[in-house]
Structure 1
Amino acid sequence: MLKAAIVGVGFMGWIHYLAYQQSQGVKLAAFCSRDPKKRSGDWTGIQGNFGPPGGPIEMQGLTAYETLDEVLADPSIDLVDICLPPHLHAEAACKALAAGKHVLCEKPLALSSTACDEIIAAAQAANRQAMVAHVLPYMGEFQYAYQAAQSGSLGSVQRGYFKRIISPPDWIPDFYNASTVGGPLIDLHVHDAHFIRLLFGMPRRVMCSAELKDGTVKFCQSLMEFEEPGVLVGTSSGVSEQNGRPFCHGMEIQFEKGLLQYELAALTDGVEVMPLMVHKQDATTERPTLPEASEVAGFTAELEDAAASIVSGSVNPRLDVSHARDAIHLCQCLQASAVSGEWVSCR
């Protein structure tokens, strides 16, 4: 069985740890953290916007390292799972690849398309797999939409609308810093940009109308045009001031033979969901039954596909770094359009 090491023990490192406990294709064998408390197995205090809070982990069978260099010197490690802050992704990924390790990197792959290109080049030079952990296409309703697009069961995709909005992320003091986090486009909207890239391909051009904060998009409405006439995608994304609804996302995708519709709003006192519906041309509506899944099931599925990609030598499209690179480029185009007020070419 393949052996992996988590690099970076924060919220996403914790979620990946939980996912490894369910994985059948890859075993977590090591992790690294600068924090001696975490290296001792005490991951209490980790908290995110979903999933259980961090706690003590089972150290049996795990090696705790302090640095990435120590991980890379371990010949038993096949896969380096990067869960570091975004501005550290590119350097860590390139270093791991050069050391002969395969890489799975949390989103965003990097903060710029140029940095993404460096990762892609490093993977090609090392003849190793570089993969990205964009979990959205592995999650319930979005996985259903992705599989429908792949199978053609509802015909071709024609139009779409995607929404992803959060309340102020005050726990991230540098959220709008383009050199560390990247703001709402790179940190938040990149989920939908990646999903749009998977379903529709790369837009020909984009228009983005936005409220800016320190020169970075805070909230935007965007329109994306594609080469095929009539194929349009709209999005709403960013930060609103309404703390009573910390998070919401949704999608409406027009296929040739049906319309998919779904929306979720996380409230301070619960969650409201409009379940996935497929509206048919004969005026009927289906409500697909989705497999029951835990909050980390999508992450476990990512790990299984990462292991299969390494074994087969063929990367699953949902993990393909070239698609993740295009998503970052798309977000950069939206930022440029928001500043200029004009259509921006994505070519």
Structure 2
Amino acid sequence: MKCRKRILIIRLKSIGDVIQTLPAVRMVRENFPDAHISFLVCRSNASLIQGFQDVDEIIEIDRSRMKRGIFAFIAELFRIIHRMINGRFSLVIDLQGYGETALLSRITGAKERWGMVYSRGRKWAYTKWANRNKHVHAIEKNIQLLTACGLKPGTIENHFVLPASSREAAKKVFISRGLDLDKPLLYIQAFTSTPSKNWPLEKYLAVAEDWRACGGQVVFGGGTADAVALAPVSAAGFEVFTGLPILVSAGLMYWSTLVLGGDTGMLHIANAMGKRAVMLIKNCHPGRADLYQHKEWVIDPSGCGSLSEIAVEKVIDTCRNGFPMSYVPGISLAV
């Protein structure tokens, strides 16, 4: 009896980059329908893989533990090395391409090891590789690697399935704040991980005020570290949700009518869930991480200008264009 192929896919971080491996994982499944597919990811992002229908097993690496001192570092290092060796993987696909992931790929002892190469010195870790193409979208980079290594490309599917438990948890959070899920709701993710990627908060507030003036509901989301910075939003009378588990925050977007924000992983989750979104992002290079297959939902400043150059009116108009039958000046959004 032929052994079932065991495949390990590696992408440790971050939220957006992990989500953007979805089409590659689907492509692997289409080429190896009977394989057992494991996904190695940082513990902080591990819950995301629950939305990957083609993954059979989640393997976590606790990078935070490795920062707690030498003994914790060694313990976690040996734990993950042991897990890699005993995984009995026949194929490893490293979609990260960092030094540590190259090393982990090699440690598995898999007969086939494919990787995205950022520098020539890491080719030793792989049996097949593709040089990183910085001129294409992250999703296309991953597909190019798999194609270069011999897999047959099919229809690209960027589909994240939010667990029912997370949808229900988010629904309860909304209801506890008195929000009506039957009425139009704008979810704003105002902050990204990089200050230069942020549109000014006062401009997001202007969009929020416009939505509210038309009878719509508005909520702001963010991480625990964003709570203080979002204080002006609460003062303006808008609901703010910070520090929630990733999947519950995804659930808030699931129940929303429109998601607005910058170049952040949450916007990529919204896109992969099929939600209507508007992303504000700088247009400085062709390989930027915009909303895949929905460039028409992206707003950027001219050239490589600052995001602050984007006019509030342009964002308001783009939001309105997403709902031409219900969101027009002077007409209430309320149902």
**Structure 1 and Structure 2 fold alike (TM over 0.5):** no
Instruction: From the two aligned structures, give the one with the greater strand fraction.
Output: 1
Bigger relative contact order, structure 1 or 2, given CA contacts below 8 A and separation 6+? 1
- Max radius of gyration: which structure? 2
Provide TM-score, normalisation by structure 1. Answer: 0.29
Provide TM-score, normalisation by structure 2. Answer: 0.30
